[in-house]
Structure 1
Amino acid sequence: MSNKAKQSQKLLLFRLFGSRLFGLGTLKIREILPFQRLTKLPHSHHAVIGTATFRGSAVPVIDMSAAVGYPALSKEEQAKASIIVTDIQRQEIGFLVRSVQQIIETDWKSVMPPPKALGTNAFITGLLDVEGDIIQLLDVELLLAKVYPESLDAGEVVLSDVQSETLRSLNILLVDDSQVARKQLSDVLDSKDITYHVTTNGDDALQVLLSQHERGTPIDILVSDIEMPGLDGYELTFNVRDNNALKQPYIILHTSLNSEMSLSYANQVGANEALTKFDAEELMEAMLRGAEQAS
């Protein structure tokens, strides 16, 4: 495969409880702060321990240990902890972690999907073996959905009868390794009685694209996450664009990163559009633009 589709991924490694290491993509991270005095938030989720001041703004801080089911950090432990300020899903969120370790460089091809035995409530999107240590990549979208259940509400999208029928006539494929993101995508289409295929990773998505093409019902619109174990969204897009035998779908790459770099790279590998999660109206407008091209 051409190097054009490959983009290295830097991960920040940290600890929450015991010796286990967790990882978070650095593109999500704005800054790492030492623990500071927090302002309490009344009537908030038990894992939300207050707000920190970051560049003049109040940022909610979540005790990540408590949020994923480990014991909450004690006052003494908090004093030695760090706050990772992230930019995810169009909002700044701080995560309190026991200790920050190091930054490593890898690529999504090296990330293994989590075992299915972990179930649907595991906050893990992938596993990475680094010199014998198994790094667990956290599903921050699921974490935020547990802390802020209202974030799952995709909101009402108004479509005309013609627009709805147009999308119903298309073959649509959704790809995302996050169960929360898949639910958000599915809920939007289900609310309009629009049928679709859905997969959890790029490898399976490529097989669906190939099999649908062979059946004479090619995929018209592909909506894919960018950061996924195995074949990530960039490589999936490049593979599709590099296959001249496939009828080319309209490709919308979808990411929780508010990163111009990620969105720019999506266009470079052949995506028609790149969106930041999650705005249902923006997504439907992009799909309608894809429908115009498919017609």
Structure 2
Amino acid sequence: MFHGVFRAKLMSSLLDDVDRRTQMVGQNRLELLLFTLGTRQLFAINVFKVREVIACPNLNRLPSAHSIIRGVATLRGKTVSVVDLALALSLPPIDPGRSEAFVILTEFNRSIQGLLVASVDRIVNLNWDQIRPPPRGTHKDSFLTAVTQIDDRLVEIIDVEKVLEMITGPARDVSDMVTAGVHEGGHVRRALVADDSAVARKQVVRALTQIGVEAVVFNDGRQALDALLEMAAQGPIHEQIGLVISDIEMPEMDGYTLSAAIRKEPALAGLYVMLHSSLSGTFNETLVRRAGADRFLPKFSPDELAEAVLTHLQSDGAKVG
């Protein structure tokens, strides 16, 4: 009874409010799904990554699977791997048979996966400026991408891209076919990268380096905007930065708000902005244009990113002398 009533209410919140959440574009707002992993600590994931929340189904074990994969299940006609988030975070494993256990069916980084959690709490609506980077001193291998406070409780937002990398391994290199297309001319070969995920930053910088593009890296949109304004105060921005590559989900200022802020600043307005996000199943060109960005690219394909960057940087427009 608990599962049925709770799931119905949660799915209503997830599905019926899609239009309202879409209207949050450019308003620096987000919604988080709160859950636990067998302790009192609250964790969270962006609702835009969530397709559905279901009571944990029967899981079929795969002997050769990664240790954090508890099994596979057929959900909505698809075979989906179910990851024990507690195991991924070095916590005691979750019992899939417990009455409160749920699977959060997610879509990000061009893939669908289930996340096994001990219990699901609720959905909250926040401003991105209420989201903070992990505390100083947090280990570089931490799975936290950000934190916030809700009802005087610390909520840890999980870097699910890092969890996925545990299973899939590091991204491959840019292919020789793409690097062979690098040539001189066009815009300055320097990109400003804004992303709160350590895994994503590493992936982007690696791909850019392989095509001869320098990366200036920041952890959130606010840092990125401040850096761009400082550069513009020193001279024409197009002589310093060839394009901006920004994540959408970031503490303090999201990618949509960063894009809109760039367009409002006369000294920055002409910058090429690419939104590069793990939210591959939800966003479309209409939302990108509404935010003032030039292009949306789902994470993560090294070749697609490299080709998109080269297409812009090697174009004839606004050449740097």
Of residues 62-71 and 154-163 in structure 1, the stretch that sits farther from structure 2 once superposed is 154-163
How many angstroms apart in 2 are the aligned matches of 1:45 and 1:140? 16
Deviations along 1:201-247, one digit per CA (max 9) or x if unpaired, are 11221122123223333322000000000011111111110001236
Pairing 1:33–2:54 present: yes
How far residue 154 of structure 1 moved from its aligned partner, in angstroms, is 4.4
Task: Name the SS of the counterpart of 2:296 in structure 1.
Answer: strand
Work out the CA distance in 2 between the residues paired with 1:4 and 1:140. Answer: 22
Q: Secondary structure at the match of 1:31?
A: strand
Change over 3 Å in CA distance of 1:88–1:265 after alignment to 2: same
Q: Which residue of 2 aligns with 1:6?
A: 27
Q: Check the 8 A contact 1:220/1:248 in 2, yes or no.
A: no
Matches within 5 A, 1:148-163: 148-150=168-170, 152-156=171-175, 158-159=177-178, 163=182
The percentage of aligned residue pairs carrying the same residue is: 32
- Give the 3 Å change call, closer, same or farther, for CA 201–8 of structure 1 in structure 2: closer
The aligned counterpart of 2:123 is: 103
Q: What is the Cα deviation at residue 75 of structure 1?
A: 5.5
The answer to whether the 8 A contact 1:220-1:294 is kept is: no
| Letter aligned with residue 43 of structure 1 | S
5+ residue gaps, structure 2, are 1-23
Contact 2:34 2:121 in 1 (8 A): yes
Shift of 1:95: 0.5
Q: Measured at CA, do residues 103 and 154 of structure 1 come closer, stay the same or move farther in structure 2, by a change above 3 Å?
A: farther
Distance 1:210 1:221 in 2: 14
- Match of residue 216 from structure 2: 197
Contact 1:168 1:193 in 2 (8 A): no
SS of corresponding position for 1:180: helix
C-alpha deviation, 1:88, in angstroms: 1.1
Structure 2 distance, partners of 1:4, 1:143, is: 27
Q: How far apart are residue 168 of structure 1 and its match?
A: 8.2
- TM-score, scaled relative to structure 1: 0.91
Secondary structure of 2:182's aligned partner: helix
More displaced 10-residue stretch of structure 1: 263-272 or 95-104: 263-272
Let me know the Cα RMSD of the aligned residues: 2.1
Letter in 2 for 1:133: R
Cα gap change, 1:170 to 1:215, in 2 (>3 Å): farther
- 1:58 positional shift: 0.5
* Contact 1:4-1:269 within 8 A present in 2 as well: yes
Determine whether 1:45 maps to 2:86. no
Question: 259, 267, 278: which one pairs with 2:289?
Answer: 267
Q: Contact (CA 8 Å) 1:251, 1:272: kept in 2 or not?
A: yes
Corresponding residue for residue 67 of structure 1: 88
Cα 1:180–1:196 shift into 2, 3 Å: same
Partner of 2:258: 236
Match 2:226 to one of 202, 207, 210: 207
Paired with 1:68 and 1:208, the residues of 2 have a C-alpha distance of 33
One-letter amino acid of the counterpart of residue 105, structure 1: N
Evaluate the alpha carbon distance shift between residue 35 and residue 167 of structure 1 in structure 2; reply closer, same or farther with a 3 A threshold.
farther
After superposition, what is the alpha-carbon deviation per residue over 1:135-167, rounded to whole angstroms, capped at 9, x for unaligned? Answer: 1111000111123214x3244253366634347
Distance of aligned partners of 1:129 and 1:104 in 2 relative to their CA distance in 1, 3 Å threshold: same
The residue aligned with 1:250 is: 272
In the alignment, is the contact (CA less than 8 A) between 2:182 and 2:211 conserved in 1?
no
The farther-off stretch of 281-290 and 94-103 is: 281-290
